Structure 1
Amino acid sequence: MKNIVLIGMPGAGKSTIGIILAKTLGMPFIDTDLIIQKKENKLLQEIIIEKGIDEFLSIEEKTILELNVEGTVIATGGSVVLKPEAMKHLKKNALIIYLKLPYMEIKNRIRNITTRGIAMKKGKTLLEVYDERVPLYERYQDKTIRCMGKNTEDIVEEIKAIWEEELCSGPKSSNQQ
């Protein structure tokens, strides 16, 4: 059974929506940021400060590559799309859902940018991170959910409908690209 993988910017609601979606569909839930924190025994921001962005991204990639689950809702860190091997691993057995929000909404939601554990290089602005990642989210997504103006339940119901449609349509033939 396929996984449902949620991707999107920090603040898009991947963890919150993921938990409710998993409960709604009766599936297990994994938050890769929490796995990283448990493995490293540190908060994401502490890892970034102590080891640097590049090492953090390597840890995130390794964590994703070690995931071997089926029928699970997975909330990823916003930076997962920066590592093609990690995304390739996730896409093997998943429906990738991009939770899309406009930049100003992301900016309004992220109040703790310096302590949240966002993988952004020194000197980069949140807008630069957004502009860098949006094309990657769009490249890797199977479906995009426009989340602006919707509550959590609406988004969960939209994903549930996509999931049920996916289950009914069955696996794609191997010659479709």
Structure 2
Amino acid sequence: MPGSGKSTVGVLLAKRLGLGFIDTDLLIQEQAGRTLQDIVDQDGYEALRHLEEQVLLKLDVRHKVISTGGSAVYSARAMEHLRSSGTLVFLDIPLELVIERIGDHSMRGISRRPDQSLAALFEERFALYSRYADLTVKGEGLSQDEVCEAVVSAL
């Protein structure tokens, strides 16, 4: 989910482990030449999901920490590709904390159906994140450094 700390904790983790870091949201924007929100607004949420899948399937995932966009879990192929050379980590935070961290999410480029509430999206994705995760780290009440340490300890 947006606001879970994927990008920030990912950078900290990559530094701690001496690995490369990739933020797929940035790769998608670079490939498309526009923001995630522009993609959703102009082409729809399914287009963003498709682009994310394409970007993920092209990645060399060895020796890297990868911060995926939140909709990566909608692609079984992409998730298996990520799992092929690494450990899938779910940074689990409650919906209330997601809302607190992201504030007005209308411009975040979140891939969701137009009629879908953030709460419904959270519930839907939680089930998918839980299914694919090799490791779940609860982030509520922890600083980003503490979440990083929790991931390192669990690995």
Same fold (TM over 0.5): yes
> What's 1:121 paired with?
113
> What's 2:36 paired with?
44
Q: How far apart, in 2, do the equivalents of 1:51 and 1:28 lie?
A: 31
Shift of residue 121, structure 1, vs aligned partner: 1.1
Q: Structure 2: state its 5+ residue gaps.
A: none
State which of 47, 50, 56 in structure 2 corresponds to 1:55.
47
State which of 12, 18, 21 in structure 1 corresponds to 2:4.
12
Shift of residue 112, structure 1, vs aligned partner: 2.9
Aligned length: 155
Q: Structure 1: state its 5+ residue gaps.
A: 1-8, 164-177
Shift of residue 161, structure 1, vs aligned partner: 1.7
1:73 equivalent in alignment to 2:56: no
Q: How far apart, in 2, do the equivalents of 1:57 and 1:113 lie?
A: 17
The answer to whether the Cα contact below 8 Å between 2:61 and 2:82 also exists between their aligned partners in 1 is: no
Q: How far apart, in 2, do the equivalents of 1:59 and 1:20 lie?
A: 26
> What's 1:82 paired with?
74
> What's 2:142 paired with?
150
> What's 1:97 paired with?
89
1:108 equivalent in alignment to 2:100: yes
Q: How far apart, in 1, do the equivalents of 2:31 and 2:88 lie?
A: 25
Q: How far apart, in 1, do the equivalents of 2:84 and 2:14 lie?
A: 20
- C-alpha root-mean-square deviation of aligned residues, in Å? 0.9
> What's 1:28 paired with?
20
Alpha-carbon displacement from aligned partner over 1:103-149 (angstroms, at most 9, x marks no partner): 11111111131101111111110000001110100000001000000
Q: How far apart, in 1, do the equivalents of 2:80 and 2:119 lie?
A: 26
The answer to whether the Cα contact below 8 Å between 2:61 and 2:86 also exists between their aligned partners in 1 is: no
Q: How far apart, in 1, do the equivalents of 2:91 and 2:61 lie?
A: 22
1:134 equivalent in alignment to 2:126: yes
Paired letter, 2:58: E
Q: How far apart, in 2, do the equivalents of 1:14 and 1:93 lie?
A: 18
Q: How far apart, in 1, do the equivalents of 2:85 and 2:17 lie?
A: 17
* SS of corresponding position for 2:4: coil
The structure whose Rg is larger is 1
Paired letter, 2:81: H
The answer to whether the Cα contact below 8 Å between 2:92 and 2:139 also exists between their aligned partners in 1 is: yes
